[in-house]
Structure 1
Amino acid sequence: MKTMTNEEFYAGLLDLPKPKYPFPDTIHPDFQRLREEYYNWIDTEYIIHSKQAREKHKEHNLCDIAARGCPFLKSIDDLLPLANYTANGAMMDDYFDRCSRNEMYEITNRIHELLTGNDPKEPSENGIFHLYWKLRQDALRCDFPEHLYKRFVKSVDRVFKGYAEEKTYYRVNTIPPLPVYLLIREDTSGVQPYCDYVAMQKDYRQIPDEIFDHPHIKRIQTLCSLLIGIHNDIISLPKELHREGDTMNIVKVLQQEYKITIQEAYIKALELHDDYLKEFLVLQNHLPSFDNWKNMIFEYIQDLGIMVSGVYAWHTDTVRYQNGNYVEGEYTNEK
């Protein structure tokens, strides 16, 4: 059997099957207003980025992920903290692409202090940290229940710690084993904070903490993280095939794990994705009793599915992963 080159694979990518979801795809009615906030963040806060990088980020419309992931939030005020986390997190990940594991942990710790209010002082300069300080102020203004906000912040911590751990593999251009990939990708997909934020919609704020802590619900949230992580890898694969250091991709991982071609690994990645989707649906349809909460929990899980579908819609609509449109890391350690 002839081995397919990366170039041949790239050329035939459009003909390969794609992820599909049985959930509706919608978007928040205030998404255009949210974009204006997002453009303002880039112009006023992201001065650390070059002008070229800032203009590319505007074209990516990263704030649309929040508008698609949580389309049932009551107002743009409720959307702002999630959009801030999403856009700032993604642009921050781009900017610090070349930083070390230890440097990312230092950044994570600083963000944690700002989000928790342990450091209540407003940063004196605009930028990444000022935006996270602003996230907390917006969260306080939109009546974010304290117990949900604490969950959200804890989940954000996990995302950034995942960013730190993947640096170990990026910096030495090494593909991780599958179990390590799955562990890290669950965090770096950035989805757990979204699972927490979906609870800000409708009447889900009333759901007791012990239900959110139930293993059944935790597993469904993990599946959301893996579904989005894998479909993101599938969409970004053409970019990551040709960039040294982009090793945290499920297709590359499976190719190494099973010693197969890129095309075979792609199909295997899609099969893994579809297995996770089937598990999600089985768990949704076989919930524990949850007493009087069962109907609301079923709807919450349905809205998690809408979140997954919405994020995928953004991934397939954005120019972020097209050749020439991604943002290279601009951070350099000058110490």
Structure 2
Amino acid sequence: MPKCYYPWPTIDSPIANAFDDEEKDWYDNDYTFISQEGIKRCKSQVLSRVATYMNPTCDSIERMRPCARLMIYITLFDDYFGMTPAKELKAIADRIYEVMMGEDPRPDEIGILRQMAQARKEWIENGMPRFWIERVSINFYEFILYGMMEEIPFKQAETTIYPTLAHYLSFRKYSIGMWPYGDLIDPCTNFALPVHIYNHPVVQRCRELLSLIIVIQNDFASLKKEIEIEGESLNIIFILRNQYNLSYQEACLEAMRLHDAYGQELNDLHESLRFLDLGAFQEDTYNHIYHIKLQISGCANWYYSSGTNRYEPKGFIVPKYGREGDDIVIPHSIFVKK
């Protein structure tokens, strides 16, 4: 499969494997809605390393811990609820926002909410301001609302249907989860971008490019697995083939061309920050965009070097509304009892 490369460094984390044992306890205590076979698959994916690989300059276990929690719960949320009908998914999104903003889950609610609440408490203990808590909560909410929910018509179609490339990128940049992933730069660097800096068009475009680049990076990483899935349409290679009548090779070349163009744009915007007047936050903003770039190369490093088996056959858990023939049964009586 084609691999992605970048004109900036790939840095190794000094605490890359720090949560390998701890995350197993999280699965055993708070992910009991997944079957034992599903838990076994999760543990072999080393998902906590996504946080450390993507934020490689952070050497603080305390600041990294809630980030590792998010990496796991956003990934498994997507895996498990990816086939959930839109109405039900909207109710789940509303409850997640409440918990991430401050409510504690009730004892009868699904354990993944306890991970979300604990991450929020740990971020606050580490000094993250309220505006940042609201930022990551909204971005998680939009990951569901504008990402996962927009994928449902394609995932639940009786016959294979493909979005156009423009439509795919419009929702996939949310469903890839990189808006909340990008928020983790702040606790990992121990500096929260002020609201007016975060909202600057150049910063927002850099965050969007983080998402778009990882969309293509992820589609290459998962291509070997997804090419064997009947009816799978949500991969840029398949979409390019369908829309432009390309061969696999041609589609891969075009996808990589787009990927590299986005990477160059991000590099150019990073350099252009020196022409902006960001006052006292000039250096902090430059450092933030630098860490966006490190997240991208770090994610690729995780795909290729971490030892994860996530993209091997039967690497995923089976979603709540899975296809017939799935070999893992995941009981799910309720998510919300309100």
Taking structure 2 as the reference length, the TM-score comes to: 0.87
2:178 counterpart (191, 205, 208): 191
| CA separation of 1:34 and 1:306: change in aligned 2, threshold 3 A | same
Contact 1:25 1:68 in 2 (8 A): no
Deviates more, 1:90-99 or 1:304-313: 90-99
Question: What is the rounded CA distance, in whole Å, between the counterparts of 1:43 and 1:181 in structure 2?
Answer: 35
| CA separation of 1:137 and 1:331: change in aligned 2, threshold 3 A | farther
- Give the percent of matched residue pairs that are identical in Structure 1 and Structure 2: 28
Question: What is the rounded CA distance, in whole Å, between the counterparts of 2:280 and 2:297 in structure 1?
Answer: 28
Question: What is the rounded CA distance, in whole Å, between the counterparts of 1:120 and 1:130 in structure 2?
Answer: 8
Contact 2:105 2:113 in 1 (8 A): no
Letter of the aligned partner of 2:254 in structure 1?
K
Taking structure 1 as the reference length, the TM-score comes to: 0.88
Q: CA deviation at 1:200?
A: 2.4
* 2:329 aligned residue: none
Question: What is the rounded CA distance, in whole Å, between the counterparts of 1:282 and 1:319 in structure 2?
Answer: 34
Question: What is the rounded CA distance, in whole Å, between the counterparts of 2:153 and 2:69 in structure 1?
Answer: 27
Q: Please, which runs of 5 or more residues in structure 2 have no aligned partner?
A: 323-331
Contact 2:13 2:59 in 1 (8 A): no
1:80 counterpart (65, 71, 74): 65
1:159-196 Cα distance to aligned partner (Å, 9 max, x none): 12211221121111422111111111111111111222
Letter of the aligned partner of 1:63 in structure 2?
S
Determine whether 1:211 maps to 2:203.
no
* 1:254 aligned residue: 240
Question: What is the rounded CA distance, in whole Å, between the counterparts of 1:158 and 1:69 in structure 2?
Answer: 21
* 1:224 aligned residue: 210
Letter of the aligned partner of 1:99 in structure 2?
T
Q: CA deviation at 1:228?
A: 0.7
* 1:274 aligned residue: 260
Where do residues 161-180 of structure 1 align in structure 2 (5 Å cutoff)? 161=145, 162-172=147-157, 173-180=160-167
1:82-116 Cα distance to aligned partner (Å, 9 max, x none): 21121111112222233222222222111111111
Contact 2:12 2:56 in 1 (8 A): yes
Question: What is the rounded CA distance, in whole Å, between the counterparts of 1:176 and 1:203 in structure 2?
Answer: 39
Where do residues 91-106 of structure 1 align in structure 2 (5 Å cutoff)? 91-106=76-91
1:180-233 Cα distance to aligned partner (Å, 9 max, x none): 11111111111111222212244633x432111100110011001111111001
Contact 1:97 1:328 in 2 (8 A): no
Contact 2:48 2:72 in 1 (8 A): yes
Question: What is the rounded CA distance, in whole Å, between the counterparts of 1:326 and 1:124 in structure 2?
Answer: 26
Q: CA deviation at 1:26?
A: 3.0
Question: What is the rounded CA distance, in whole Å, between the counterparts of 1:84 and 1:27 in structure 2?
Answer: 20
Question: What is the rounded CA distance, in whole Å, between the counterparts of 2:282 and 2:82 in structure 1?
Answer: 43
Q: CA deviation at 1:306?
A: 0.8
Determine whether 1:324 maps to 2:314.
yes
* 2:327 aligned residue: none
Question: What is the rounded CA distance, in whole Å, between the counterparts of 2:231 and 2:74 in structure 1?
Answer: 20
2:75 counterpart (78, 87, 90): 90
Q: CA deviation at 1:35?
A: 1.8
SS in 1 for 2:281: helix
Question: What is the rounded CA distance, in whole Å, between the counterparts of 2:293 and 2:182 in structure 1?
Answer: 10
Deviates more, 1:229-238 or 1:187-196: 187-196
Question: What is the rounded CA distance, in whole Å, between the counterparts of 2:215 and 2:284 in structure 1?
Answer: 26
Question: What is the rounded CA distance, in whole Å, between the counterparts of 1:223 and 1:270 in structure 2?
Answer: 14
* 2:137 aligned residue: 153
1:113 counterpart (78, 92, 98): 98
* 1:26 aligned residue: 11
Aligned length: 318
Q: Which has the higher contact order (CA 8 A, sep 6+)?
A: 2
Where do residues 277-296 of structure 1 align in structure 2 (5 Å cutoff)? 277-287=263-273, 288-296=276-284
1:24-69 Cα distance to aligned partner (Å, 9 max, x none): 2234433333122211111111111111111111110111111111
Question: What is the rounded CA distance, in whole Å, between the counterparts of 1:260 and 1:114 in structure 2?
Answer: 45
Contact 1:155 1:193 in 2 (8 A): yes
Letter of the aligned partner of 1:329 in structure 2?
P
Contact 1:25 1:313 in 2 (8 A): yes
Letter of the aligned partner of 1:163 in structure 2?
M
Contact 2:105 2:114 in 1 (8 A): no
Letter of the aligned partner of 1:310 in structure 2?
G
Question: What is the rounded CA distance, in whole Å, between the counterparts of 1:88 and 1:315 in structure 2?
Answer: 18
* 1:5 aligned residue: none
Question: What is the rounded CA distance, in whole Å, between the counterparts of 2:127 and 2:59 in structure 1?
Answer: 12
Q: Please, which runs of 5 or more residues in structure 1 have no aligned partner?
A: 1-12
